[in-house]
Every structure is written in C-alpha cells, then in structure tokens.
Amino acid sequence: MKLGDNLNEMKKWIILVLVGVLAFWGLNNLELIFDVLGNIYRVFSPFILGFVLAYILNIPMMKVEYLLKKAIPDKYEDKYSGIIRLVSIILSILLLVLIIAFVGFLLIPELIENIESLMNNIPAFIESSKDWVINLLDKYPDVQREIEVMFAESGNVSGIVSSIFTYIINGIVGFVSGFVGGFVYIFTGIIFAIYMLCQKEYLVDGIKRLVYAFTDKRKANKIMDISKLTNKTFSKFISGQCVEAVILGTIMFVVCLLGRFPYALIIGVLTAITALVPIFGAFIACGVGAVLIAITNPLQALIFVAVFVIIQQIEGNVIYPKVVGKSVGLSPLWTLLAITVGGNLFGVVGMIIGLPLASVVYAIGKESIKKKLDKKDIEIV
C-alpha cells in the first residue's frame, strides 16, 4: 500500500473519531447546544424574517417586473433595469398592503359591530353562567367545600385584589415592551427584504461562486439543480396555499351566512388567514368562532363546530390535496403524510414546510430511481 493511501485512510479514521467524540459530547450537552442555537436564532431572526418576506414578495415582483419590461422597448431595458426593479418592489409591497387594508376595511366595521354585540351579551352570559355554577355547586357540595378552602388559603380580599392589579400592570408593561420590540423586529426584516430583492442577482451569483469554489463541478451542478427544484416547488406551494386559504375562507363565510351563524365575515376572514397553516390551522378559527357564537347561543356553537369539522374534513382530504398537492406534484396520500409527519416533528413550522420539502425529496428520489433502472435496463410496466 502506498504512503498516500495510508494517509487518506488515516484521515478518514481521524475524521470518524472526531465525529464520534463530537456526537458523544453533544448528546451529553443538549441543553447547552439548544441554548446556543436559541441565542443564534434570536440574533438572526429579523434577517430570517427578511429572507422569508423577500421570498414571498419575489413571487409577485417577478410578475410585475416581467410586465414592466414588456411595456418598454428592448433597447431601454438595461438602462432602466434598476428603476424597473425598484418600481416592481414598491408595487409588490403596495399590493400586499392593499390586500391587508382591504381585509381591514371589510373586517373592522364588522368587528366593531360584533364587539358591541358581544359587550351587550356578556352580562347575560355571565349571569346564566353564574346560575349554572350555583346549581352545579348545590348538586356537588364536595366541590363547593374545595373552592371555599382554596379561597381561604389565598389570604384576605385586599391581598387578592393587590395581586390582580400587579398582574394587570405587569401584563401592560410586557405588552408595551413586546410591541416595541416586535415593531423593530418587523421593520428590520422589511428593510433587509428590500435589500435582498434589490440585489438578488448578486446574492445568487455569490452563492454560486461559493458552491463552485469549494466543491467539484459535478457536485456543484447537482446542488444548483436541487436549488432550482426547491425554489420552483416552494413558489408553487406558496401560490397554491394562498388559493386554498381563499377557497376555504369563502366556503366558511357562505356556510355561516346560509346557516345564519353570527360573525360570518370575521369567521370567514379568520379561517382564510389561519388556513395558511396547512390543514390544521383552520381549527384555530373554529375554536374562536365557537367561543364567539357560544356567548349568544351555546347550542348553535355546537352545531357550528360540527359543520366546521365536516367542511374541514372535505377540505383536508379532497380540496387541499387537489389544489396544493397538485401544485407541488404530490399525490393526496403523500400530501397528507408529509403534513402529518412534519407537524409531529416540528409543529406549525413543520406543517408549513413539510409539504414542499417532501415534494423536493420525492422528485429527487424519483429521478434517482429512474436513472438506476435505466442503468440496469429495467422497465417497470
């Protein structure tokens, strides 16, 4: 065996030992690792938000940019490319703002009216709830004694009131500080998104240079192919998810109107917003809608939940796989599997990115299997 072969073999063993040592250390220091990762995420979270916003805004921006370039002569395209890009970004942001403003224009008057209705109904609801609790305690005296003991151990009334006011003040301070921090977080993300959109070609070119510089050409080409496939899949997924959310929100609004459920517009809009989380997100709207309806009519709230579950089952098993699953190239079975597994592993984030990631893995795996079968000259019929 040559000296070079011995050195290569030694390098492999050294790397293997180092990986083993790092893995052992990591398993024994998981809490420290998660703390470090959490701190890194908090530092870079505005930029992560900016990347997500840039990626989403890039979809309409490309359409607008294409239309603007078609509207001017070819000889001026290079000269005014920077202005076209800037105008495209501004129009894309305005489009997003107009959609939010339109939803607010529809929702806010309805929301104010419904809040007034809720405020009028809450006293009667509290009174009926109090009567229900009193009747319940009369039937179960043991529960009543436990509640009396609990209040007896809480101290005097002034102490309880003081604790309540302290809790409220702390909550207000926390809300204000959280609001200011959230505003800075979102503003930083938006600015970063605009910079990314303005210079996206330079960023992509820099990433390509980095990949080709540190990997061989064959691997670099493979990485670029996977990146293009991932970008295409995620773009289709976002478009399909938005279409599906609008469909489900519209269905719920119409059903609430036909069923004479109150708060039809609020429930419809809330359903469309929460439906951006695949399949399971709309159940948030179901819970909020049920609580709102229960204040005026508990029996109608139960009927609403039953109707919502039926519609959600139809949407989750029929509409969603057809609209979103088809857009990313997955069958209904794989669509449901990807969302379920992603949700179990990573929660809400897993539900959102699980489907497009599964589509990318499926496409890569399908292509790899096809190449191996072609190499073996096997044809499956």
DSSP for 295-363, written as a single string: HH-HHHHHHHHHHHHHHHHHIIIIIHIIIIIHHHT--HHHHHHHHHHHHHHHHHHHHHHHHHHHHHHHH
- Mean pLDDT in the chain? 75
- pLDDT tens string 333-376: 777 777 777 777 776 667 777 777 887 888 788 777 877 777 77
Q: Is the pLDDT of residue 204 over 70?
A: yes
- pLDDT tens string 166-188: 655 566 566 556 666 667 777 88
Least confident of 29-43, 121-135, 279-293, 328-342: 121-135
pLDDT confidence of residue 364: 81
**Which residue, 99, 103, 93, 98, is CA-closest to 59?**
93
Pairwise CA distance, residues 123 & 111, whole Å: 19
What mean pLDDT do residues 58-65 have? 85
What mean pLDDT do residues 307-321 have? 79
Place of tokens 């990626």: 55
Residues 6 or more apart in contact with residue 162 via CB below 8 angstroms? none
What mean pLDDT do residues 97-121 have? 70
**Which residue, 241, 211, 242, 214, is CA-closest to 228?**
211
Positive or negative: CA dihedral 221, 227, 233, 235:
negative
pLDDT confidence of residue 126: 61
What mean pLDDT do residues 121-130 have? 62
Residue 371 corresponds to which tokens in the numbers above?
A: 């190449």
- 55 with 203: CB under 8 angstroms? no
Q: Is the pLDDT of residue 156 over 60?
A: no
| pLDDT classification of 21: cutoffs 50, 70, 90 | confident
**Residue 279 phi, psi dihedral angles, 5° rounding:** 60, -60
| pLDDT classification of 158: cutoffs 50, 70, 90 | very low
Residue 171 corresponds to which tokens in the numbers above?
A: 């909550």
Radius of gyration (C-alpha) of the chain in whole angstroms? 28
Least confident of 41-55, 82-96, 192-206, 327-341: 327-341
| Secondary structure of residue 262 in the 3-state scheme | coil
> Got the DSSP string for 146-177?
HHHHHHHHT--HHHHHHHHHHHHHHHHHHHHH
pLDDT confidence of residue 50: 83
Q: Is the pLDDT of residue 157 over 50?
A: no
What mean pLDDT do residues 9-14 have? 75
Q: Is the pLDDT of residue 161 over 50?
A: no
More confident residue, 48 or 127: 48
What mean pLDDT do residues 93-97 have? 84
Pairwise CA distance, residues 356 & 334, whole Å: 11
| Secondary structure of residue 280 in the 3-state scheme | coil
- Angle formed at CA 215 by CA 210 and CA 221, multiple of 5 degrees: 85
What mean pLDDT do residues 89-109 have? 78
- pLDDT tens string 206-252: 888 988 888 888 888 888 888 888 888 888 887 778 888 888 888 88
| SS3 letters across 181-238 | HHHHHHHHHHHHHHHHHHCHHHHHHHHHHHHHHHCCHHHHHHHHHHHHHHHHHHHHHH
Q: Is the pLDDT of residue 326 over 70?
A: no
pLDDT confidence of residue 175: 57
Q: Is the pLDDT of residue 41 over 80?
A: no
- pLDDT tens string 255-313: 888 888 888 888 888 888 888 776 667 778 888 888 778 777 778 888 888 988 888 88
Place of tokens 């919502």: 308
Measuring CA to CA, how many Å separate 37 from each of 31, 343, 352?
10, 21, 21
pLDDT confidence of residue 163: 56
